[in-house]
Structure 1
Amino acid sequence: MKRLLPAFMRNAVEMSFMGVTFLTGLAIAFLVPVLSLFLSDELHVRPLLVGAFFTVNAVMGIIIGQVLAKYSDNLNNRKPLIMICGIAGILGSLLYAFDRHFGVLISLGIVLMSLCGSMTPQLYALAREYTDAENKQAITFSTVMRAQFSLAWVIGPPLAFFIVANFDFTRLFTGVAVLYLLCVLIIVRYLPVIPRQIVAPDKSAGSIWQNQRLCLLFLSSFLLWTCNSMYLITMPLYISKVLHWQQGLAGWLMGLAAGLEIPVMLLAGRYSLRIGNRRLMLISGVSAVVFYVVLLLSQQPLILFLAQIPNALFIGILAGIGMTCFQDLLPGYAGQASTLFSNSIRCGGIVAGMLAGTITEWFRFDGVFLCALGLSACALLALWRISSL
């Protein structure tokens, strides 16, 4: 019995990581897709202010995330910080559920949800410390965690729109608060306490941005996430206004890509040691280039559905092992590394919104895909440069 108990505890710990990741992903998938609709229909906010809300939200998320990341890497134990982020998610969700003042939501609401947004990179940082302490494969564990997040996004947005259509925003956001409450309970009960050896700052090393490989990795990740965000913003409009297909086909395309990403993530984690993280990242960059070439050259439904295979390779590998690549380049600073990866996604979203709107206005949708092709090619060159350093 004594020999079985440690194995059981390890399994409970690992399941808690997966459970918190899935519940967090579900909460985000409930909130993000309907947020613009909430601001427009419920608060009757002008489109300009809707855009300002998303911009402030992204910028504040980057600032708070990076500050907390640097602070967390000086803590002996990051579990209490993850709990605080979860509590901020509960309070922020309840504020969205019951407050209808735009000024309150764009200030206090964004601060609370930005604190909450730091929970995901901190959770991945704790997972890296756990796998290192247990002598487990970090890449395999993190990709399985990331697959839980993707699974939540397969089912979350349709369920969120169903709740809004049949009930109201108050019940939806209250549900988000309940999800974060479950996260906090799991964190308190099951997540491990991993005592950390504080890494003494190396003054001779200078800023982390003097790490050339790290800068190139951040640049390539930022460019690839910008391309993906431009695609997600543009594709529904492209399908309805240019191809004149039913809007439902956009959902099927994105759902197919999300479903394919999960096995890609798992396979990337399984074969990362054999193939190598850098080669996998190069495969991700090549797949992105192929995907945007197909979007430019074909408008056939079957071809666009088949194109979701390179799209899934592109996103599945990037999302699955990208964070681990950052952590490998910043040993001992898992919090900052995980947050840098998350901030590359946030920065990509900010730039994608501005680029997609401007390019569509002047050059139509083909210009967006051409821009995405150029950016993905630049990302591929940056990844190739990392391999040669």
Structure 2
Amino acid sequence: MSLSSSLALFKVPSFTPALLAILCSVLAEAVGFSYMALLAVEKIGMSPLELSAFLTLSAISGIAVTTVFGHLHDRRPVLWPLLVSLGAKVVAFGLCAVLTQSWMLIAVAVALFGPSSASFALMFAMAKGYLDRVGGETVSRGMASLRVASSLSWAIGPALGAALVAGWSFTGVYVGAALLSALALVVVFASRIKVVPAATEERQKITLGVVLAAAPAVIAMTAFHTSMFMGSNAMSIVVARELGTETDVGLLFSLCAAVEVVVMGLFVIRPMRRASVGLLAFGFLLFAGYFIMAIVWPTLLSLYLGQILRAAGIGILSVVGMAYVQELLPGRAGVASALFGNTMSAGGLLSGLGTGLFAEAFGYWSIFSVCTGLCLAGAAVLFVPAGRRIEAA
């Protein structure tokens, strides 16, 4: 990538503040959500049923609000949904620092954490509106750069959260997350970002045919996120209980996130012309390879080495997956980003239910086999006829 290409990216209007806002917003999530389960169970004393309700209702609320805000972004581009979403994140994390009752945290999940999850899709949709006006490789390079910022946040966030919880308990974690969310809100507000309409003259109409064409991609990305979250849950537990320590858990997550940054950075250096179904399928196979490696060689060393496959799979599927969904819906950046964001929420919801069911019946190691199946199914569904409409567009 030449220096002029790099400078051209940062000369795109509102790209730099969007990048900074995503970095701060996702960093807040990485700090706060790394300790959310511990906050709910250890400090507030949630029962398993209450914890399930908390996670489920938050995901459902997030899917609903993200869908509404995504459609609004495409119909009438305005900034207030993003400001509302970031503001909800500030208040939600701030309240987590002082809440003491289970019902209070569940209420926060529905009223605040759900709406706050829409900020991810809205910031990507807003940035794509400006990138599309430049066109060419700048679009692919810019979207990949935003994904790098997101992964970088997750590489830093857990370590920052560990420092805060050690020095100031849970209060420090959630005050820190609230301040980072507030910084994202300030960046968006102070930079006077304006949401622009899609540059595409022909906006894709949402018809039954379009829904059917996008369905394989949505199913595949939901399978990816479900396996990612379920695999993370299983890895954390088997490492802490059987193979290593809680320190190893943190190191494994940080190692994976660091390699993800490198993989996603390659898409900045060598941007895609178009999203490739073959490359997506390759990402699924790499991710499946990590789970298979853990099954046939269940050791701590295997999991450390496997983070290379895991990170490569996540990096490819995150960057190419979002581009793939966006290309299926030209001129609908809001809906496309919301669809991709909702596959994350749906994956989180399904993983919460699936982890408990399979662990209870077959043990936590069985989850690696489930994740392998999800990855292979995700790769296969991409090749159903409707999923290939992108290639003929």
TM normalised by structure 1 equals: 0.89
State the alpha-carbon separation in 1 of the partners of residues 94 and 226 from structure 2: 31
**Contact 1:94/1:177 (<8 A) preserved:** yes
Q: Name the aligned partner's letter for residue 228 of structure 1.
A: M
Secondary structure at the counterpart of residue 212 of structure 1: helix
Paired position in structure 1 for 2:147: 146
State the alpha-carbon separation in 1 of the partners of residues 119 and 110 from structure 2: 15
**Contact 1:95/1:109 (<8 A) preserved:** no
Paired position in structure 2 for 1:45: 46
Q: Name the aligned partner's letter for residue 123 of structure 1.
A: M
Shift of 1:324: 1.7
Paired position in structure 2 for 1:28: 29
Paired position in structure 2 for 1:271: 270
Paired position in structure 2 for 1:70: 71
Q: Name the aligned partner's letter for residue 92 of structure 1.
A: A
Secondary structure at the counterpart of residue 344 of structure 1: helix
Paired position in structure 2 for 1:107: 107
State the alpha-carbon separation in 1 of the partners of residues 47 and 160 from structure 2: 26
Paired position in structure 1 for 2:366: 367
Q: Name the aligned partner's letter for residue 106 of structure 2.
A: I
State the alpha-carbon separation in 2 of the partners of residues 173 and 223 from structure 1: 30
Secondary structure at the counterpart of residue 196 of structure 1: coil
State the alpha-carbon separation in 1 of the partners of residues 263 and 64 from structure 2: 32
Q: Name the aligned partner's letter for residue 32 of structure 1.
A: F
Secondary structure at the counterpart of residue 184 of structure 2: helix
Shift in CA distance, 8/238, structure 1 to aligned 2, threshold 3 Å? closer
Paired position in structure 1 for 2:194: 193
**Contact 2:66/2:118 (<8 A) preserved:** yes
**Contact 2:159/2:250 (<8 A) preserved:** no
State the alpha-carbon separation in 2 of the partners of residues 312 and 7 from structure 1: 28
Q: Map 1:77-226 to 2 at 5 A.
A: 77-135=77-135, 137-190=138-191, 192-196=193-197, 206-207=207-208, 210-226=210-226
CA RMSD of aligned residues (A): 2.6
Paired position in structure 1 for 2:3: none
Shift of 1:339: 1.0
Q: Name the aligned partner's letter for residue 150 of structure 2.
A: F
Paired position in structure 1 for 2:4: none
**Contact 1:16/1:191 (<8 A) preserved:** no
Shift of 1:268: 3.0
- Output one character per residue of 1:192-228: Cα deviation in whole Å (capped at 9) or x when no partner: 324326989877x6247x5333100001101111111
Secondary structure at the counterpart of residue 153 of structure 1: helix
- Output one character per residue of 1:38-81: Cα deviation in whole Å (capped at 9) or x when no partner: 22233222232122111111111111111221222211x33332
- Output one character per residue of 1:264-322: Cα deviation in whole Å (capped at 9) or x when no partner: 11213443436853232122112122222212111244443222222111100111232
Shift in CA distance, 104/237, structure 1 to aligned 2, threshold 3 Å? closer
Secondary structure at the counterpart of residue 193 of structure 1: coil
Secondary structure at the counterpart of residue 273 of structure 1: coil
**Contact 1:139/1:321 (<8 A) preserved:** no
1:329 equivalent in alignment to 2:336: no
Secondary structure at the counterpart of residue 167 of structure 1: helix
Secondary structure at the counterpart of residue 365 of structure 1: coil
Shift of 1:350: 1.4
Paired position in structure 1 for 2:338: 339
Q: How high is the sequence identity, in percent, across the aligned residues?
A: 23
After alignment, is 190-199 or 102-111 more displaced? 190-199
State the alpha-carbon separation in 1 of the partners of residues 134 and 39 from structure 2: 44
Give unmatched runs, 5+ long, in structure 2.
1-6
Shift in CA distance, 184/250, structure 1 to aligned 2, threshold 3 Å? closer
**Contact 2:90/2:179 (<8 A) preserved:** yes
State the alpha-carbon separation in 1 of the partners of residues 240 and 84 from structure 2: 43
TM normalised by structure 2 equals: 0.88
Shift of 1:169: 2.8
**Contact 1:140/1:266 (<8 A) preserved:** no
